[in-house]
Structure 1
Amino acid sequence: MGTFIQLVVDGLATGSVYAALALAIVLVNQATGLINFAQGGMAVLSAYLAYSFLQLGFPLLLAILVAVVLSFLLGAAVERLLIRRFERGDPDTAIVVTIGLLTLVTGICGWLWSYNNLQFPSPFPLSSVDVFGAVVSVRSLGTFLATIVIMVLLQLLFLRTKLGLALRAVADNPVSAAFSGLPVGRLLMVGWGFAAALGAIAGSLVAPQLSLTPGMLDQALVYALAAVILGGLDSPIGAVVAAWLIGVLENLAAVYVPFIGHDLKIAVPFLLIFVILVVRPQGLFGRKVVARV
Structure 2
Amino acid sequence: MELFVARLFDGLSNGATYALVALALVMIFKATTLINFAQGEFAMIGAFVVFVMAAERGIPMWIAVVLGMLITAVAAAGVERTLIRPFDPSDHLPLVIITLGLFLAINAVAGIIWRFDPRRFPELFPSGNVFTFGNAALRWYTVGVTITVLVTAAALTLLLNKTKVGLAFRAVSSNLQSSELVGVRVGPTLQFGWAIAAAVGTLGAAVFVADPFRQLEPTIMIRVLIFAVSAAALGGLDSLWGAIVGGIAIGMVQSILVPYTPIPNEMGLAAAVVVLMLVLLFKPSGLFGTPQVERV
Q: 1:250 aligns with which of 251, 254, 272?
A: 254
Which residue in 2 is equivalent to 1:75?
76
Name the amino acid aligned to 2:51.
Answer: Y
Which residue in 1 is equivalent to 2:87?
86
Q: 1:279 aligns with which of 282, 288, 294?
A: 282
| RMSD, aligned CA | 1.7
SS of 1:276's equivalent in the other structure is helix
Q: Give the Cα separation in 1 of the matches to 2:53 and 2:88.
A: 34
Compute the displacement of 1:131 (Å).
5.6
Which residue in 2 is equivalent to 1:16?
16
- Given that 1:253 and 1:265 are in contact with CA atoms closer than 8 Å, whether structure 2 keeps it comes out as no
- Given that 2:258 and 2:271 are in contact with CA atoms closer than 8 Å, whether structure 1 keeps it comes out as no
Question: Are positions 1:5 and 2:5 aligned together?
Answer: yes
Alignment of 1:224-235 (within 5 A): 224-235=228-239
Report the more deviating stretch, 265-274 or 59-68.
Answer: 265-274
Q: Give the Cα separation in 2 of the matches to 1:264 and 1:70.
A: 36
Stretches of structure 2 lacking an aligned partner (at least 5 in a row) = none
SS of 1:67's equivalent in the other structure is helix
Name the amino acid aligned to 1:283.
Answer: G
Which residue in 2 is equivalent to 1:144?
146
- Given that 2:43 and 2:205 are in contact with CA atoms closer than 8 Å, whether structure 1 keeps it comes out as yes
Which residue in 2 is equivalent to 1:206?
208
Q: TM-score, normalised by structure 1?
A: 0.93
Stretches of structure 1 lacking an aligned partner (at least 5 in a row) = none
Compute the displacement of 1:292 (Å).
2.3
SS of 2:21's equivalent in the other structure is helix
- Given that 1:32 and 1:167 are in contact with CA atoms closer than 8 Å, whether structure 2 keeps it comes out as no
Which residue in 2 is equivalent to 1:130?
131
Report the more deviating stretch, 241-250 or 163-172.
Answer: 163-172
Compute the displacement of 1:160 (Å).
4.0
- Given that 2:47 and 2:202 are in contact with CA atoms closer than 8 Å, whether structure 1 keeps it comes out as yes
Q: 1:52 to 1:87 in 2, by over 3 A?
A: farther
Question: Are positions 1:52 and 2:45 aligned together?
Answer: no
SS of 2:268's equivalent in the other structure is coil
Q: 1:291 to 1:162 in 2, by over 3 A?
A: farther
Which residue in 2 is equivalent to 1:290?
293
Report the more deviating stretch, 75-84 or 48-57.
Answer: 48-57
- How many pairs align? 292
Q: TM-score, normalised by structure 2?
A: 0.92
- Given that 2:28 and 2:194 are in contact with CA atoms closer than 8 Å, whether structure 1 keeps it comes out as yes
Q: Give the Cα separation in 2 of the matches to 1:79 and 1:24.
A: 15
- Given that 1:129 and 1:136 are in contact with CA atoms closer than 8 Å, whether structure 2 keeps it comes out as yes
SS of 1:130's equivalent in the other structure is strand
Which whole-Å deviations, capped at 9, do the CAs of 1:17-36 have from their partners, x for residues lacking one?
A: 21111110001111233211
Q: Percent identity?
A: 35
Q: 1:87 to 1:21 in 2, by over 3 A?
A: farther
Name the amino acid aligned to 2:32.
Answer: T
